[in-house]
């Protein structure tokens, strides 16, 4: 019996990671092959692959949108794809893995005209860029959520409860806002640093943090942070490459002195020079979105709704969420409300459909559908993915339309959400909770 291994991981490490693992396990079972899946989830690596298992494996599937330790797979046939392919194309991946035409890591690709090139074994440039970007986003989100919710809780004592000169002042509220604000303030530096870390590992981390801090202080925000992260990462990677010929005796000098000094000096200088122009672009974008929610809430709601439901936790959904959190940091609580409403809608729509029309669904679908009540109430959009994956051209437009309705109504009724999260868990923090 063929032995296959897989590694799955998504940026947030919550839903896609385990959905891909389950899809691959089922596909392997259906094709009569043995498989073990390592998951890189939010709590770390689980079901880790051993050296013996890797040595005995016929092929390894990497369905990840985050960095994993790849050196351990040298000399083994590798298929590397996005985590969404691991969910949607699990059967095709298993068939490719057992076909015998997979590229071996570190060797020339096998040529076989009869083998499909759908999965070439090497990630595309677009997937690599997305993976690095999502590495930054996934590390940033816990800081944003923790800090944002603490700030939002402080508002329960009053919107000015942190101000000692206000009648609403409360010491506990002021402390919570201070702690939450410190966490939120790390948003851009963390984003930038971990983009650079994803590209160049530890050599990129120092320059990435410095670039992110400069982006924060110059007002260039997340646009400057993204630019700085990629510049720091690729420049650090280049530095490591050109210094690789140095004798081993200089390893400490290279890693502790030369690379940090040169990368910080070069990237820091570039970021300082880019600060004003990028800051102007960032301010224009934020002002445009803020004005749009007042002048044309219907159009904005449709855009946010479609983005949130289009890939449910993927890059388009994350773009809407990150924009909402950035505006939240500037005191705009309206934009995030629309994003939150749009994100919780897809799983709730699925749950309601299963409840009203149970005969239209299989037993397993009904069980999964009822779980979506919990997922929707806790802002986990990904619960709707299995239903969309089975019939995307029918289900996705319905979900996008539903999320658009939610966002449009939220903007029209001027609901505010002071936390970078959604669902009924934070209902006590929401302005106009009944609405």
Q: Is residue 295 situated within a structural domain?
A: no
Boundary of a domain, candidates 78, 99, 123: 123
Supply the CATH number for residue 64's domain: 3.40.50.2300
Q: Do 260 and 307 sit in the same domain of this protein?
A: no
pLDDT of residue 121: 53
Burial 264-294 (b: 16+ CB within 10 A, else e): bebbbebbeebbeebbeebeeebeebbeebe
Q: What is the edge-to-edge ordering of all strands in the sheet holding 59-64?
A: 44-46, 34-41, 3-9, 59-64, 78-81
Which residues on adjacent β-strands are paired with residue 59? Answer: 4
Q: Do 133 and 263 sit in the same domain of this protein?
A: yes
pLDDT of residue 289: 78
Question: What phi and psi, each to the nearest 5 degrees, are found at residue 240?
Answer: -60, -40
Q: Is residue 36 classed as helix, strand or coil in its secondary structure?
A: strand
Boundary of a domain, candidates 78, 102, 123: 123
Q: Do 246 and 317 sit in the same domain of this protein?
A: no
Q: Is residue 22 situated within a structural domain?
A: yes
Q: Is residue 434 situated within a structural domain?
A: no
Contact 35, 90 (CB under 8 A): no
Find the helix or strand (DSSP H, E) in which 37 lies.
Answer: strand 34-41
pLDDT of residue 266: 96
DSSP letters, 297-315, are HHHHHHHHHHHHHHSSSSH
> Going along 44-162, which residue ranges are E strands?
44-46, 59-64, 78-81
Q: In the chain, count of helices (H) and strands (E)?
A: 17, 5
Rounded distance, CA 415 to CA 412, Å? 8
Q: Do 351 and 257 sit in the same domain of this protein?
A: no
Q: Is residue 87 situated within a structural domain?
A: yes
Name the token pair of 360. 């239209």
pLDDT of residue 112: 41
CA distances from 109 to 72, 99, 332 (A): 19, 14, 51
Structural domain range at position 368? 300-429
Question: What phi and psi, each to the nearest 5 degrees, are found at residue 62?
Answer: -105, 100
Instruction: Give the closest residue to 228 by CA, choosing from 255, 189, 259, 181.
Output: 189
Q: Do 92 and 176 sit in the same domain of this protein?
A: no
pLDDT of residue 110: 45
Q: Do 313 and 209 sit in the same domain of this protein?
A: no
Contact 340, 379 (CB under 8 A): yes
Number of domains within the chain: 3
Q: Do 91 and 202 sit in the same domain of this protein?
A: no
Q: Do 236 and 166 sit in the same domain of this protein?
A: yes
Q: Is residue 286 situated within a structural domain?
A: no
Q: Is residue 20 situated within a structural domain?
A: yes
Q: What is the CA radius of gyration of the chain?
A: 24
Residues identified as active-site: 10
DSSP letters, 137-179, are HHHHHHHHHHHHHHHHHHGGG-TTTT-TTSTT--HHHHHHHHH
Q: Is residue 342 situated within a structural domain?
A: yes
pLDDT in 10s for each residue of the chain, 435 residues? 788 999 998 876 677 788 889 889 999 999 999 999 999 887 778 889 999 999 999 999 999 887 788 889 988 999 988 888 888 889 999 999 988 888 888 764 444 434 444 555 556 677 788 888 888 888 888 888 888 888 888 888 877 788 888 888 899 999 998 999 899 889 899 999 999 999 998 889 999 999 999 998 998 888 899 999 999 999 999 999 998 888 877 777 888 889 999 999 999 999 999 999 998 988 888 788 778 877 888 999 999 999 988 877 667 777 788 888 878 877 788 888 999 999 999 999 999 999 999 999 888 888 888 988 988 888 888 788 878 877 888 999 999 999 999 999 999 999 988 888 777 777 878 888 888
Q: Do 100 and 133 sit in the same domain of this protein?
A: no
Q: Is residue 293 situated within a structural domain?
A: no
Q: Do 381 and 402 sit in the same domain of this protein?
A: yes
Q: Do 152 and 237 sit in the same domain of this protein?
A: yes
Boundary of a domain, candidates 123, 149, 169: 123
Q: Do 72 and 184 sit in the same domain of this protein?
A: no
Instruction: Give the closest residue to 335 by CA, choosing from 314, 319, 354, 351.
Output: 319
């Amino acid at each position: 019996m063929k032995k296959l291994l897989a590694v799955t991981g998504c940026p947030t490490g919550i839903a896609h990671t385990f959905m891909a693992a389950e899809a691959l396990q089922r596909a392997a079972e259906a094709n009569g092959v043995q498989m073990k899946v390592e998951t890189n989830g939010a709590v770390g690596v689980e079901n880790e692959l051993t050296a013996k298992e890797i040595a005995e494996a016929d092929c390894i599937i990497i369905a990840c949108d985050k960095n994993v330790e790849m050196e351990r797979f040298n000399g083994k046939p590798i298929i590397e794809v996005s985590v969404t392919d691991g969910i949607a194309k699990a059967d095709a991946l298993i068939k490719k893995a057992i076909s015998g035409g997979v590229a071996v890591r570190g060797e020339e690709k096998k040529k076989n005209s009869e083998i499909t090139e759908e999965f070439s074994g090497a990630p595309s440039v677009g997937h690599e860029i997305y993976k690095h970007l999502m590495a930054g986003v996934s590390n940033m989100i816990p800081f944003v959520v923790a800090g944002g919710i603490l700030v939002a809780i402080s508002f329960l004592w009053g919107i000015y409860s942190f101000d000692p000169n206000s009648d609403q002042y409360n010491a506990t509220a002021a402390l919570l806002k201070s702690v939450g604000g410190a966490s939120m303030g790390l948003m851009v530096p963390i984003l930038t640093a971990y983009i650079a870390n994803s590209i160049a590992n530890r050599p990129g981390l120092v320059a990435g943090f410095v670039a992110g801090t400069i982006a924060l202080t110059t007002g260039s925000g997340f646009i400057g942070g993204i630019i700085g992260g990629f510049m720091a990462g690729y420049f650090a990677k280049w530095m490591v490459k050109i210094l690789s010929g140095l004798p081993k005796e200089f390893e400490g000098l290279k890693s502790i002195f030369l690379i940090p000094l040169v990368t910080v000096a070069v990237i820091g200088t570039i970021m300082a020079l880019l600060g004003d122009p990028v800051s102007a672009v960032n301010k224009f974008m934020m002002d445009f979105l803020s004005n749009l929610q007042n002048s044309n809430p219907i159009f904005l709601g449709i855009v946010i709704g479609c983005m949130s439901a289009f890939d449910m936790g993927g890059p388009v959904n994350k773009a809407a969420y990150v924009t909402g959190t950035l505006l939240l940091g500037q005191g705009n609580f309206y934009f995030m409300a629309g994003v939150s409403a749009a994100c919780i809608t897809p799983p709730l729509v699925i749950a309601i459909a299963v409840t009203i029309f149970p005969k239209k669904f299989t037993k397993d679908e009904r069980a999964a559908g009822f779980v979506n009540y919990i997922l929707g109430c806790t802002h986990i959009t990904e619960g709707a993915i299995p239903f969309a994956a089975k019939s995307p051209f029918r289900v996705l437009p319905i979900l996008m339309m539903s999320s658009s309705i939610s966002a449009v109504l939220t903007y029209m009724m001027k609901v505010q959400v002071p936390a970078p999260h959604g669902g009924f868990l934070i209902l006590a923090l929401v302005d106009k909770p009944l609405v």
